[in-house]
Amino acid sequence: MTPGQTWEIDRGISARILTYFYPQTENNDARIDRLEKYGLSAKTLMVANGVVTARVDGFVTMRHAFYPGRTDAQPLAAEVVGVLTFTPGRPPTLELATTRAVHGTRPFKVAAQTVPPAPR
């Protein structure tokens, strides 16, 4: 990879990540079938000593009900930005946060990061 290189992150992986970008409610439904539009793209920022650092930008629109089992799901839209790091011999790490997010008419914020496995 070289600085400035861009790519789309696999849609299946994007769906599995972005399904969690909803406000804290009593409904913790993270099924991907609620997603309407979504995507994540990345741009390499730096490559040093084999470590690749990339900026990630993305968006998601879905419907999310405040209570589990309800059919009155509100529209939800969120834009995210973050950092993806590839280090040789280790799983990639990802940190994402909303830059704009609304559920119905209420704004909300979400931040998420991967947790690397403990050393053996």
Q: Over 90: is that where the pLDDT of 30 sits?
A: no
pTM greater than 0.95:
no
**Residue 40: partners with Cβ closer than 8 Å, 6 or more residues away:** 8, 9, 13, 14, 17, 18, 56, 57, 58, 80
CA distance 7 to 19: 21
Mean pLDDT value across residues 30-44: 92
Q: Greatest CA separation found in the chain?
A: 51
Residue 34's CB is within 10 A of a number of other CB atoms, namely: 16
Q: What is the band of 4 on the pLDDT scale with cuts at 50, 70, 90?
A: very high
How confident is the model over 83-118, as pLDDT tens digits?
A: 999 999 999 999 999 999 999 999 999 999 987 666
How confident is the model over 5-23, as pLDDT tens digits?
A: 999 999 999 999 999 898 8
